[in-house]
Chains A and B, each alone.
Chain A
Amino acid sequence: DAGVTQSPTHLIKTRGQQVTLRCSPKSGHDTVSWYQQALGQGPQFIFQYYEEEERQRGNFPDRFSGHQFPNYSSELNVNALLLGDSALYLCASSFWTADNSPLHFGNGTRLTVT
């Protein structure tokens, strides 16, 4: 049973560029959430997708956007990269219909912006 998989594992980009991160949820899960984890900090909620729609959004600018595909996989896009976007980006999957459904996390994508 495959867990949450993310790609790539590491990425180096230059300020102003755009980046796309990818996530495949745990088998059977229908909801994908994205989190940003800065060094030494806890994960911060970016947004969540269910049925190919953004359902909730955290306090992140519009430069951060996403997409969910019919097979429940998801992409996180960040435009006009800033140095402060350097972080570990975590994808988490869960069941939409279950209250308090625990999040299952991938190992993350380490983004470095230079």
Chain B
Amino acid sequence: GDSVTQMEGPVTLSEEAFLTINCTYTATGYPSLFWYVQYPGEGLQLLLKATKADDKGSNKGFEATYRKETTSFHLEKGSVQVSDSAVYFCALSDPTGGYQKVTFGTGTKLQVIP
């Protein structure tokens, strides 16, 4: 079945540091890939997405590139801020399972210190 594996946290960075959160996936079909973010006390919200190989999703300074050859979708940001502290979830939706069913990774907690 479909699965998503992401690096374990917590990840602690100083403000303005470079961020990478690794994510790899296994899917039956040709999935769409997502990063969702969960800020403290809030629900999950979509951060960015990519729907085909070599697509780059970007939002709020975060980027991730759909790498079909390595089945990866790593999240990056050049300079993190304290306000980026949250839990980040890599996810996929597989057309063979119906696009509306989303499979999530276990989440990576990011803490940014001033």
Report which A residues bind B (CB closer than 8 A): 4, 31, 33, 35, 40-45, 48, 55-56, 58, 90, 92, 94, 96, 99-108
Contacts and interface: CB of A to CB of B under 8 A. Distances in A.
Nearest to A41: B106
Interface string B81-114: 0000000010101010111111111110000000
B44 A43 contact: yes
Contacts, number: 65
B51 interface: yes
B101 A58 contact: yes
Contacts of A31: 100
B25 interface: no
A56 B101 contact: yes
B106 A100 contact: no
B44 A45 contact: no
B17 interface: no
11 contacts: A40-B106, A41-B107, A42-B91, A43-B44, A48-B100, A56-B101, A96-B100, A99-B95, A100-B49, A103-B46, A107-B41
A42 B100 contact: no
Given A41-B106, A42-B106, A42-B107, A101 B43 contact: no
A100 B99 contact: yes
